[in-house]
Amino acid sequence: MDKKRRNSLILAIGCIVFAGIAGIAINMTRQRGSQIIVWADGTQWGIYQLNQEQEIEIKTENGRNILRIQDGKAKMTEADCPDGLCIRQREIDKIGESIICLPHRIVVEVIGDAQEDQNSLDAVVN
């Protein structure tokens, strides 16, 4: 192997290792959320606590989904959409993580306590 190819290979391996370490570090420093906010067709469906185990039925004119909160994590367990991609997404529990069902226009996002205040109205001004 000539020197140029060997250096290129070393550089490529170094970049891959660095990206892997950076990804792990970012994931480990993310804060766990305390709530999830559910949006259906652009409208807030509800806010639910991650520390309360429950199943939430999200039924809209676009379809039906079941969201399960268990062990401080949220996961889409059922959906009658054609592709079922939302069911195959992993459990979420860190702030900013989300589960999205495009056919049903549903977004589930993990938030913290402070973010709830940003999503609610403080006052109405005329």
Residue 126 lies in a domain: no
Q: What is the pLDDT of residue 69?
A: 96
19 and 47 together in one domain: no
55 and 25 together in one domain: no
Q: Nearest 5°: phi and psi at 26?
A: -65, -45
Q: What is the pLDDT of residue 2?
A: 85
Per-residue pLDDT of the chain (126 residues; tens, 9 = 90+): 788 899 899 999 999 999 989 888 877 777 889 999 999 999 999 999 999 999 999 999 999 999 999 999 999 999 998 888 999 999 999 999 999 999 999 999 999 875 444 554 445 555
Confidence (pTM):
0.69
How many distinct structural domains can be found in the chain?
2
